[in-house]
Amino acid sequence: MQWFAVRKQLRARPRLVLGILSFVLPVLLWSLVSYVPWLWHPKVEITATGDVSYFKSGMLIDREVFVKEEAKIAEAGGTLPQGRPANPIYLPAPHQVAQAFYTAFTTEPKRRNEKWLHESLWSSIQVIFWGFLLSSLFGVPLGILAGTYDLFSRLTEPFVEFFRYLPAPAFGALAVAILGIYQAPKIAIIFIGTFFQQVLIIANTTRKLDASLLEAAQTLGAKNLALLFRVVVPGILPDLYKDMRILLGWAWTYLIVAELIGTSSGITWFITQQARYKNFDNVFAAIMMIGIIGLTIDILLAWLGRNLFPWQRVAARS
Amino acid sequence: MHSIELPSYREQSEQVRQRFERLKQRPVRLEVQALSKDFETPHGVITALKDISFQTHKREFVCVIGASGCGKSTLIRLLAGLETPSRGRVLLDGEQVIGPGPDRGMVFQGYTLFPWRTVKKNVMFGLEMAGRGRMPAEEEAMQWIELVGLTKFADSYPHQLSGGMKQRVAIARALANQPRILLMDEPFGALDAQTRAKMQAYLMEIWKNIDITILFITHDLDEAVYLADRILVLKAHPGEVQELIEVPVPQPRSPQQFLSPEFLATKKRLEELIHPPQEEDANGDHLNMVRMVSVNDDVESVL
């Protein structure tokens, strides 16, 4: 088989295997660093303190410090401290993170007013949902209008073009001042981060619709609104759907910044809180959960898209 | 080379002459009056069409032919109302054409079927736009689909059809509106030779059986002579009417006529008009073979 054929698809089997490998390889690298003692492991975990006064059992110490103390004690002729190579606390091993995927959900919050992980996740999903929905409610129609009528294009796009360079988090303080400290300013940040890109991308997608379809429709008697709703909208629907999937991905990337605004909430609150307690296994698990939720939603949407637009299955059999 | 004596393309048999006489007594369907179109470009104004005037009678088949860049497509777009004329006007049954409308059906070279609609829904589009109800529109659409022989594919999407089938759907879709004239812009240009011949036969059959006036653009001389009652020959830069030829080949047409003297005479005339003998290499547009050396010349040239 040709592994390096330019712009040729490999066969189904190898493609699947490679796809799985793309996840396995990073995990493998991580496992090597975690489980092979002579790879990296810049710290020493103390198992027996010996005669070093400030060592405690289970303590993580820089290797150089340990070696120096060991040498000092050896010179003085005392009991040597014992230790084993360890990684810094911020790099938990894969099995610890895997465990955290379960324990993070079952660990009771430390204070009564704090939320369980599933509540935090649900709060994050709601922020994304409302931010993206509000943005789409305005962004999609405006994008389609701008892509169809030059009037709307000129009236909106120059300003949108300017506004999209303003980083959404820059509006954090303003959003809090106007909308308070709870969910509303977070939704606003997702909205600002999504909306302006959305208008431009959808306007562009709309403009890419084959103009001859519009001409054909006109010679068949379609006018004004019929052109818009019977030709433009159905014509761009599959591409619009793809755009929305990409934009939803962007919305997720704004989540962490958004949730830091006002009172920290959702998965971001969980991550910062766990980092404060030095539960880095939980931190890793939470970060991965964002990726897993995002990817799962995208795969579901992709699958749904294939069934929504049957005319898009272009001669895949050939 | 011209060892065969051909009659003049102006010579018409009695039968053909009488047919043209009757044809010219029919009411005028399309009248084009001193139509001009200028395009503004960064390099100044370019006149694509200049003072085009002609008439088409009811149920006539007119082909427009001309070298590339002569404004054939601009002409048909003006007739469809997709462009506005710079000067002059277009009359359809005596009424001036303003903008596109369903009374002038159009078939494009690029099929332009709506990919999200099935064959049936594509043909129904114009009927829906005319405010026809769902059931009657569907019934009527099925009749047109039957006419082009695609009943089996009524629920297929365009991407599942071959090029020839797509173009038949496009023709059915345009005809379903019962337009007063059918404008066709190189409709078979993208098809392979065999499919094209088949499509020409289909089109002749349709034209014979329903009352429709057709204006057909092509750059294929055989196609023009085979299909047309009259051929409008355009000249390039600017696009002007060069000649309006009455095709002396008797109707009904059949592929056997491709080698008849009238057919060849007409084709020869078109050839002269469209590819006039040019002064040798005025602009250096020729292959330069001087420096060619033979590479791996295993066998001798037989030239």
Residue B180 phi/psi, 5° resolution? -80, -25
Query: Which residues of chain B are at the A interface, by a Cβ-Cβ cutoff of 8 Å?
Result: 80-82, 99-102, 104-106, 108, 110, 112, 114-117, 125-126, 128-130, 157-160, 173-174, 177, 183
Please report whether residue B70 resides in a domain: yes
pLDDT band at B279 (very low <50, low <70, confident <90, very high): low
- What backbone torsions phi and psi does residue B193 show, to the nearest 5 degrees? -60, -45
Length of chain B: 303
In this predicted model, what pLDDT tens digit does every residue of B81-101 receive, in sequence order?
999 999 999 999 888 988 899
* Lowest-pLDDT choice from A202-211, B15-24, B126-135, B168-177: B15-24
Is there a domain that residue B76 lies in?
A: yes
Return the number of CB contacts < 8 Å for A and B: 74
Q: Which residues of B17-54 are buried (b: 16+ CB within 10 A; e: fewer)?
A: eebbeeeeeeeebbbbbebbbbeeeeeeeebbbbebeb
CA distance B103 to chain A (A): 8
Query: Between residues B235 and A190, which one has the greater pLDDT?
Result: A190
- Containing domain of residue B255, as a range? 14-103+179-274
- What is the rounded CA–CA span in Å between residue B303 and residue B292? 16
A218 touches chain B (CB under 8 A): yes
What does the pLDDT read at residue A201? 96
What average pLDDT does range A145-154 have in this prediction? Answer: 95
Structure-block tokens of residue A275: 């980092």
More confident residue, B301 or A111: A111
Contact by Cβ (8 Å): B109, B89 = no
B102: nearest CB among A220, A234, A237: A220
Write the ipTM: 0.86
CB contact under 8 A, A210 and B112: yes
Is a pLDDT exceeding 90 seen at residue A151?
A: yes
Residue B1 covered by a domain: no
- The whole-number pLDDT of residue A317 equals 40
B188 lies in some domain = yes
Top pLDDT among B10 and B165 is at B165
Q: For residue B285, tell me if it sits in a domain.
A: no
Q: Which residues of A touch B104 (CB under 8 A)?
A: 219
Q: For chain B, how many helices (H) and strands (E)?
A: 8, 10
Strand order in the sheet with B28-41: B44-57, B28-41, B87-92, B95-96
Q: Is the Cβ pair A218, B82 closer than 8 Å?
A: yes
DSSP 3-state of B17: helix
Give the pLDDT score at A318. Answer: 34
H-run or E-run covering B235: strand B230-235
Q: Which of B103, B114, B127 has the most A C-beta neighbours within 10 Å, making it the best mutation to test the interface with A?
A: B114
pLDDT digits (tens, 9 = 90+) for B130-146: 988 899 999 999 999 99
Please give the Cα distance from A127 to A125 (Å, whole number). 5
Helices A183-207 & A150-163 angle (0-180, nearest 10)? 130
| Terminal alpha carbon distance of chain A | 20
pLDDT at residue B300 greater than cutoff 80: no
Residue A107's identity, in one-letter code, is T
Cα–Cα distance between A278 and A274 in angstroms, integer? 6
Mean pLDDT of chain A: 90
Long-range contacts of A148-151, Cβ-Cβ distance < 8 Å, separation of 24 or more:
A148/A206, A148/A228, A148/A232
In a domain, B23, yes or no: yes
Residue showing tokens 């939980």: A282
Choose among A210, A222, A315: nearest Cβ to B129: A222
Q: Binning pLDDT at 50, 70 and 90, where does residue B46 land? A: confident
Q: How far is A219 from chain B (nearest CA, A)?
A: 5
User: Two tokens at B55?
Assistant: 């008439």
Under the banding of pLDDT at 50, 70 and 90, the label for residue A315 is very low
Structural domain contains residue B168 = no
Residue of B nearest to A309 (CA): B116
Select the residue of A219, A231, A314 nearest B105 (Cβ to Cβ).
A219
Query: What is the predicted pLDDT for the residue at A127?
Result: 94
Residue B195 is part of a domain; what is its CATH number?
3.40.50.300
A212 interaction partners in chain B (CB closer than 8 Å):
108, 110, 112
- Measured CA to CA in angstroms, residue A87 lies from A39, A40, A55 at distances of 10, 7, 17
CB-nearest partner of B159 from A221, A222, A311: A311
**Residue B92 φ then ψ, to 5°:** -115, 115
Q: What is the pLDDT of residue A287?
A: 92
Examine the pLDDT at A316 and tell me if it is beyond 50.
Answer: no
Count how many domains chain B has.
Answer: 1
Rounded CA separation A142/B184 (Å): 36
Structure tokens at B114: 């709506």
Provide the residue type at B300 as one letter.
Answer: E
Tens-place pLDDT, residues A66-106: 999 889 888 888 888 888 999 998 999 999 999 998 988 88
SS3 (DSSP) at B64: strand
> What percent of chain B has pLDDT above 70?
93
